[in-house]
A and B are shown apart, each in its own frame.
Chain A
């Protein structure tokens, strides 16, 4: 465990923005992997399509000229090309979903208070966190009927990304991350549960302190949960707490008021 010095940057909004970009940066290698696979398929399929469509045309032209049925090879090529077209669609869908997750983080016009469906925001953020999970982690998504909440969407997506990436990192090999939403009084309650190693009792009091991290140097900045707490509590006047059992896992509970108690922008 290392406890780093409290950063000198005083402006929390600037710090939050820096952290936001850094967290996307850290995911880049995984995002590249996630995109390179479908791109590889599309590129390969495109080359096969180009080459074999010519052969298919010639075979069909021959059959028409001779007035015979198309040869078995033509049918074989046609079936193969059809299967490749289906793969291309899946590959494009995969790329789109990762890009959609990334876009959540680079929208420039959403630094303002607005109404947002947190279920949609969670789904988009999960596309990005999914790059970190790489199928070693099963996801359970249990979205309740919730109203749109008044929030800063970009900041809330940062909260969810931090908690989802932490949940994935808490699981050493295979496990499950569960995302659950519900209405609780005048708040939307988001619970993110992992089946990871849990938080040691001696660390619990400090996990929201800036600079505190249990991750190896270079992996954890010690800012993720501090910024998460600031966005939830200071910016949205919500609450964040957790239950944790060492060796069994952790649940983070985020509660965001449906109506922002003071509809003022962050600048004021």
Chain B
């Protein structure tokens, strides 16, 4: 999320009705930018160039399943939070999701709007914190390099 911009939330489900429902709910309750995709491969392409704060994906989808999509999300945007919202709840896919794509939350359908909102809000917060942390690390690195340079100059001046 750019400074002062509204958080961006991606919803991916091959069922248009899920996207319509979640989008309507979030649109009325929040100011988030919502990006809905029924085709996971198009969502993956979007993620290559467009930053989002959280990706909420279904599991069982044609061509690319939710784990494959979230793996792409992790590759292109490691800081964005990844949430699986699935009607296909089995232990195997849950374990795989947590281990392979560093899942933030695993939610089951039918979902509860307030719980989904809480998960999305805390996911956005986490993403913002991670981005801030990265910026601070970059700033610290730059300051460290500056110090090194100054130290070098000082040493050269006095020795």
Contact = CB atoms under 8 A, between A and B. Distances in A.
A103 interface: no
A87 B20 contact: yes
Given A43-B110, A134-B62, A174-B62, A37 B27 contact: no
Interface stretch (B10-18, B120-128, B142-150): B10-18
Nearest to A137: B62
Interface string B41-76: 000000000000000000011110000000000000
A39 B24 contact: no
A32 B24 CA distance: 25
Contacts of A134: 60, 62
A83 interface: yes
A39 B90 CA distance: 19
Interface residues of A, number: 29
Contact of A48 (B25, B90, B109): B25
Contact of B28 (A33, A80, A136): A80
Interface string A96-133: 00000000000000000000000000000000000000
A77 B21 contact: no
Given A47-B113, A134-B60, A33 B87 contact: yes
A94 B17 CA distance: 11
Interface residues of B, number: 26
Interface in B73-106: 87-88, 90
Looking at chain A's contact residues, is the secondary structure mostly helix, strand, loop, or mixed? helix
Contacts of B25: 44, 47-48
B62 A135 contact: yes
Interface string A196-238: 0000000000000000000000000000000000000000000
A24 interface: no
Contacts of B111: 40, 43-44
A39 B17 contact: no
Interface string B18-39: 1011101101100000000000
A41 interface: yes
Interface in A7-34: 29, 32-34
A64 interface: no
A45 interface: yes
A42 B61 CA distance: 20
B28 A48 contact: yes
A48 B113 contact: yes
Contacts of A48: 21, 24-25, 28, 113
Contact of A83 (B20, B88, B108): B20
Q: Give the one of A83, A87, A91 with max B CB within 10 A.
A: A87
Given A37-B109, A40-B21, A80 B62 contact: no
B18 A40 contact: yes
Q: Give the one of A33, A36, A44, A48 with max B CB within 10 A.
A: A44
Those 8 A-B pairs whose CB atoms lie nearest each other, nearest first: A36-B87, A40-B110, A40-B109, A33-B87, A41-B21, A44-B21, A36-B109, A41-B17
30 contacts: A33-B60, A33-B87, A33-B88, A36-B109, A36-B110, A37-B15, A37-B17, A37-B18, A37-B109, A39-B109, A39-B110, A41-B20, A41-B21, A43-B110, A44-B21, A44-B110, A44-B111, A47-B113, A48-B25, A48-B28, A48-B113, A80-B27, A83-B20, A83-B24, A84-B20, A91-B17, A134-B60, A135-B61, A136-B63, A174-B63
